[in-house]
Structure 1
Amino acid sequence: MADRVPQLELGNQLCFALYAASRAATRAYGPELAELGLTYPQYLAMLVLWETSEPLTVGDIGARLHLDSGTLTPLLKRLEDLGLATRTRDRADERRVLVALTEQGRELRTRAAEVPLRLFQRYGIDLATARELVRDLTRITESLQASTRGGAEA
C-alpha cells in the first residue's frame, strides 16, 4: 500500500462532496417532479421562467442555469412540446429566441409550489443553515467561474 496522502483521499475532496450532494438532491427531486411531468433540468428552466412575467431569451435562461444553448435548446423544445412554454423569434433581432410561459405553464407553478417545501425537509438542515449554504456555494461557483474565465484569457 502506498503512503497515505490525505489531500488525495476521496473523503477529503470538496469536489466529490459537492458532486455526491448534487446527485443525491437531483435523485430526491425525481419522484416529486415526475408527478408534475418534469425532469430536474426542465424544472430548473421552469423556475427561471416563473420568476418573470416577460419572455426571456434562450441566452438569458442559459446564463441563469449555467447551460449553453446546445444543451438548453432541446430542453426548451420539450417544454414547448409539453405545452408549458412557447419559443418565438424576437422581432427586434431574428437571431434571438424568446421563451415565454403558456397558461398551462403558469398554472403548473401552483402545483410545483409544494415541491421545495417537501424536499427541504429531506435535507436535514434548518432554513438558516440552508441559506448560509446557498450563499457559500454561490460564492464558490462565482469564484471558480471567474478563475476559469481569467485562465482562458491569459
Structure 2
Amino acid sequence: MVTTPPAHPHEEDYLRLDLQLCFSLQAASRAFTGVYRTLLKDLGLTYPQYLVMLTLWEHGELPVKGIGEKLRLDSGTLSPLLKRLEAAGLLERRRSPADERSVTVRLTPKGSGLRERARTVPHHIARAVNMPPEDFHTLRTLLATLTEGLDAAGAAPCGTT
C-alpha cells in the first residue's frame, strides 16, 4: 500500500520511511523489475540481460568496458550476464586483435532477431506505468538530473563544492 507523505513535514518527521526518496526509488525499481520479469519471460531474458541486449541493439558491437560504462555495471557483474547470453546464442565475445586485454561483444543473428520480438516491451511498460507521456518524459529527465547530482556528490566530500 502506498501512502502519500505530508506536504510539509515537521523536522522530526524527516526520518519517516515514506519521506525517504531512496525508499521510493527502491520500491519503484522493485515494482518495475516485477513487471519486466513477466514481460521478459517469453523472451528468455532477465532484466539485466535485457539491458545488455538493449545496449547492443542500439550501439552494435562494443567492448565489454563500453557496455559496462553504459549500464553502470562493473565487470564482475557484467561478465556472468555476457556468458549466459553467449550460452543462449544471443551474442559472441571476441578478444580484440589490437589489444588482447579488450573483449568485444556483438550480437549473433539470433540476438539481432530477438529485437523484433522485444519491440512490444516498452509499450507494455508504458501501459503499466499508466502516466501521460509528458509525465513519463519529465520523470526520466528528473531521474537523470538526480543521478548526475548523486554522482557529483559521490565524487566530492559532503560540504564541499
Runs of 5+ consecutive residues of structure 2 not aligned to the other structure: 1-10
1:16 aligns with 2:7: no
Structure 1 position 5, deviation (Å): 2.1
- Give CA deviations for 1:42-92 in whole Å, capped at 9, x if unaligned: 001100000023x10111111111100000000011010010000010111
Structure 1 position 127, deviation (Å): 1.1
What is the alpha-carbon distance in structure 1 between the residues aligned to residue 59 and residue 100 of structure 2?
Answer: 22
Structure 1 position 105, deviation (Å): 0.4
Structure 1 position 6, deviation (Å): 1.0
Residue 97 of structure 2, aligned match among 91, 104, 129: 91
Equivalent residue number for residue 50 of structure 1: 57
Structure 1 position 39, deviation (Å): 0.3
Q: TM-score, normalised by structure 2?
A: 0.89
Equivalent residue number for residue 68 of structure 2: 62
1:108 aligns with 2:114: yes
Q: How many matched pairs? A: 149
Percent of aligned positions that are identical: 49
Structure 1 position 150, deviation (Å): 2.6
Residue 12 of structure 2, aligned match among 5, 12, 19: 5
Q: TM-score, normalised by structure 1?
A: 0.93
DSSP-derived class of the 2:53 partner: helix
Structure 1 position 149, deviation (Å): 2.1
Structure 1 residue ranges (4+ consecutive) displaced by more than 6 angstroms after TM superposition: none
Structure 1 position 118, deviation (Å): 1.1
Q: How does 1:66-81 map to 2 (within 5 A)?
A: 66-81=72-87
Structure 1 position 146, deviation (Å): 1.8
DSSP-derived class of the 2:97 partner: coil
Alpha-carbon RMSD across the aligned residues, in angstroms, is: 1.5
